[in-house]
Structure 1
Amino acid sequence: MAQTKKSLKCSTTEIYTHQRPKRGKPTNHTHSPSKDSILANPTLSEEVITAILVRLPVKSLLKFKSVSKEWFALISIPHFVKTHLSFSANYSTRHRLVLQIDKYSPRKRIHRHCSVASLFYDSVTETFDLDNPVKDPVLFTSIAGSSNGLICYNICHDLTLWNPSTRKFKQLPDLGLQMTSDFHIGFGYDRVHDDYKVVAIIREFRTNYYYAKIYSLKSDSRRTMDDYQGARLYHHSGMLVNENLHWITKYDDGYGIMFIDLVDGKCSKVEKPWYGKEYLDLKLGVLGSHLSVICCHERSDVWVLKEYGVKESWTKLYTIKCPYYMLSPPLCMSIEGEILHVFRSTLMTYNPEDDLMRYPEITNLDGYDHLEAELYIESLGCPVLQNEPMAQH
């Protein structure tokens, strides 16, 4: 365990580009090169400097942007941002959890964040207030999803994309959510078009008709889907897997799984697992890169779709003997196989090998009635468009 923990810790690399010489007697031939000229001709090659920088945390990179114009440009280019994201995805210390915490009396909602690795390996996990772009504490906010370090916030029916690592955010145009209280939001990245998209599925109260709108960050535009197959959705946020946003649907004959393809905007279905009988409830989640379902009746069965699009690849991972309403779908898994869940108003890790439940000690969670959690990766991803003024909190 100790050796595994060490491998998860990421040491910060210090970079020294120039050390000021000790003060001595001046000579006529002494010439002090300017700071820019030294950085323009470093001892290390540009490839080596890039290889070092992409391995550093966002906090360090934001400071290093002020070293020189060259470093600012390097750290800002899209290729560097994507390469840095791929490294961060492999460092568990760069994975964080946003906690949406509710107290029913008096009505209160707050957001905090904590380290995922700490939940698995530290004796105590500290949570921190999430300094989100919501200025008015009276406004009721919820998290509609996250992708590549960006979080989609629903702030009283107004949507905002926000990067908590860089604190840059963008308020999205009106998608018509103010006109109804029955809507479902999904957020994700379209790799084919290098674009972030928000999907809003809205129910028209008068006609009970469902329709869908898609917002594109790249074009800063929204459109109504032409072929949306209107269906009653059971849970609010879409789960992103394979560039598709998934929702649980509720029909008269039971539950189903619907998805919207972010690449072409088409709507289709995923076959649910075959479990022999109808369950009282289904909850949809994502475990790693796999779609997951928690099937609930007198116990909670956790399934994953190991090969996307192949019904026969649905595999039951484990069963937890607890009521379905207490347990969330799995959030993530440690190297040793422990799996993180929300359990009631706290977090729980479960080991399928020995059927052991463990409740990490977490600061600032006592006294609350309900908890939801969303994973995100620290990244340099920018929620604003090129040539658009950056909003920063």
Structure 2
Amino acid sequence: MSEYPSSADTIASDDDLLTKILIRAPVKSLLRFKSVSKHWLSLITTPHFARCRNPDPSSVSGLFLYSSGRRLNSGLNFIPLQNHGNPTDGNFTTFPLGMKILSSCHGLLCCTSFSRGNHQFHILNPTTKQFTSLPKPRGEVRGLGFSVDPCRSPHYKVVCVLGTVSVLSREPYQSEWRYQIEIYSSETSTWRPSGEPFIRDLNTHFPGGVYWNGAIHWFNTLGDSLYFDIEDERLGILSMPPIPQGEANGRLFRYYGESRGHLHLVEIYGARTQFCVYEMEADYSGWFVKYNVDLHEVGVAFPEMMQRLSWDPMYYSFAILAIVREEDERSFLVLHLPGKIVRYNLVNKSFEKIGNVSPEHCDSSGMIEDALRYFWFHAFQYIETVSRI
């Protein structure tokens, strides 16, 4: 027997060399490699391995588009953003347990399913198809948000807002609710209350929490918005741009989301193709205009965009699904027009169709009643990660 170790033994005993080999493996192979040994499983699930495999963990590969409930033809589509193509019905769209997506963060999805009269909540990794079910929160859930950074920690936290009516009013949206925040940590696998209960009106949209700057942010349609700092476990006020005079219906959000550490806001009042993309300062000192957008040429190329929405004729038929930040000259919008998805460069104003989606549904004459299936709150970022959950 040779006194010298074999090449396989040399590789197996050298974590740095093994990492360099494994980070180049396709995802399917990598998932199989997890079962080779406890050592390989431990190596593949470390934050160091995540950083080596994906040195740009904020790079968005695609969007999950999910809509259900009030519309026909509802379901899940996947829009690739790096390799252009049509929405696919491949493995990405096969989710277990009929899950509905609530939010996304660094490649993981927070989802809910409904069975036997009860809602259950889950964290799902769409890359690996693995998911874990969370213990049921103790109360009426008004919203969920979560934070995870696989390059810094293998653990994640889920922020749950529980709520009950405190002051009931006959006037729409004037009732006040009493809320309590609870936090779930994957490190302890338990829920615990955070801070004291607080009062807010119904204009704060807790189901639409956006993770940015270490906090979950909830928008308000009339006044200032709210955020919860997860590390310090404290609530803060997020000032909003003034609502234009004469807008009795309050703030008209057309987009509210995060990309590469930037929080963005778009408001559009009336049927127009020009609007501003706002960005929040990192110190919360205020919003500033990051991009000025004019979609007139998009409307010329795709005239169906200029038709009015049947259910809200004050708007043209387009929706902003995502604002994706890249190197500044490559940052872009993802737009949903009737029957199609369009990518619009925010700097050089170029645009191209990157996918097709079927229209919502038609009336008896074959005319489209609702031209758009998805809006920004139906779009969830996909980022590849092999993080263990």
Which residue in the other structure is 2:373 paired with?
370
Structure 2 stretches lacking a partner, 5+ long: 168-175, 296-305, 307-314, 361-371
Q: Is the CA contact (8 Å cut-off) linking 1:145 and 1:186 kept in structure 2?
A: yes
Alpha carbons of 1:259 and 1:86: their partners in 2 closer, same or farther (altered >3 Å)?
Answer: farther
Which residue in the other structure is 2:199 paired with?
230
Matches within 5 A, 1:78-97: 78-84=46-52, 86-87=54-55, 89=57, 95-97=61-63
Range with greater deviation from structure 2 (142-151 or 36-45): 36-45
SS of 1:230 mapped into structure 2 = strand
Alpha carbons of 1:72 and 1:217: their partners in 2 closer, same or farther (altered >3 Å)?
Answer: closer
Q: Distance between the aligned counterparts of 2:257 and 2:381, measured in 1?
A: 11
Q: Which amino acid aligns with 2:95?
A: N
SS of 1:83 mapped into structure 2 = helix
1:217 to 186, 195, 202: 186
Please say if 1:267 is aligned against 2:235.
yes
Alpha carbons of 1:246 and 1:59: their partners in 2 closer, same or farther (altered >3 Å)?
Answer: same
Which residue in the other structure is 1:379 paired with?
385
Higher relative contact order (CA 8 A, sep 6+): 1
Q: Which amino acid aligns with 1:151?
A: L
Q: Distance between the aligned counterparts of 1:186 and 1:66, measured in 2?
A: 31
Q: Which amino acid aligns with 1:226?
A: G
Identity of aligned residues (%): 21
Please say if 1:166 is aligned against 2:128.
yes
Which residue in the other structure is 1:388 paired with?
none
Q: Which amino acid aligns with 2:208?
A: S
2:334 to 333, 340, 359: 340
Which residue in the other structure is 2:298 paired with?
none
Query: Deviations 1:365-388 (Å, cap 9, x if unpaired)?
Result: 3144522210021112122xxxxx
Which residue in the other structure is 1:199 paired with?
159
Q: Which amino acid aligns with 1:175?
A: P
Please say if 1:130 is aligned against 2:130.
no
Q: Is the CA contact (8 Å cut-off) linking 1:55 and 1:88 kept in structure 2?
A: no
How far the C-alpha of 1:161 sits from its partner, in A, is 0.7
Matches within 5 A, 1:240-251: 240-250=211-221
Alpha carbons of 1:67 and 1:255: their partners in 2 closer, same or farther (altered >3 Å)?
Answer: same
Q: Distance between the aligned counterparts of 1:209 and 1:325, measured in 2?
A: 35
SS of 2:199 mapped into structure 1 = coil
Which residue in the other structure is 2:363 paired with?
none
Which residue in the other structure is 1:189 paired with?
148
Which residue in the other structure is 1:144 paired with?
102
Q: Distance between the aligned counterparts of 1:193 and 1:73, measured in 2?
A: 14
Q: Which has the larger radius of gyration?
A: 1
Q: Is the CA contact (8 Å cut-off) linking 1:54 and 1:80 kept in structure 2?
A: no
Query: Deviations 1:284-316 (Å, cap 9, x if unpaired)?
Result: 211321001111212463434363124356224
Q: Distance between the aligned counterparts of 2:355 and 2:187, measured in 1?
A: 42
How far the C-alpha of 1:326 sits from its partner, in A, is 4.1
Please say if 1:239 is aligned against 2:210.
yes
Q: Distance between the aligned counterparts of 1:151 and 1:75, measured in 2?
A: 20
Structure 1 stretches lacking a partner, 5+ long: 1-30, 384-393
Q: Distance between the aligned counterparts of 2:104 and 2:191, measured in 1?
A: 19
SS of 1:331 mapped into structure 2 = strand
Query: Deviations 1:121-160 (Å, cap 9, x if unpaired)?
Result: x3645453522221xx5xxx43121223211102133111
Q: Which amino acid aligns with 2:30?
A: L
CA RMSD between the two structures: 3.6
Which residue in the other structure is 2:27 paired with?
58
How far the C-alpha of 1:38 sits from its partner, in A, is 4.7
- Report the TM-score, using the length of structure 2 for normalisation: 0.71
Alpha carbons of 1:308 and 1:85: their partners in 2 closer, same or farther (altered >3 Å)?
Answer: farther
Q: Is the CA contact (8 Å cut-off) linking 1:144 and 1:187 kept in structure 2?
A: no
Q: Distance between the aligned counterparts of 1:241 and 1:62, measured in 2?
A: 30
Query: Deviations 1:46-99 (Å, cap 9, x if unpaired)?
Result: 4233234234443232233355664344223x234432464252666xx23212
1:111 to 76, 87, 96: 76
Q: Distance between the aligned counterparts of 1:358 and 1:188, measured in 2?
A: 33
Q: Which amino acid aligns with 1:97?
A: L
Q: Is the CA contact (8 Å cut-off) linking 1:273 and 1:314 kept in structure 2?
A: no
Q: Which amino acid aligns with 1:243?
A: G
Q: Which amino acid aligns with 1:196?
A: Y
SS of 1:255 mapped into structure 2 = coil
1:289 to 258, 261, 275: 261
Q: Distance between the aligned counterparts of 2:195 and 2:122, measured in 1?
A: 25
2:345 to 343, 348, 351: 351
Which residue in the other structure is 2:282 paired with?
308
Between the two proteins, the alignment pairs up a number of residues equal to 332
Q: Distance between the aligned counterparts of 1:230 and 1:58, measured in 2?
A: 46
Q: Distance between the aligned counterparts of 1:127 and 1:334, measured in 2?
A: 27
How far the C-alpha of 1:238 sits from its partner, in A, is 0.8
1:257 to 225, 247, 254: 225
- Report the TM-score, using the length of structure 1 for normalisation: 0.71
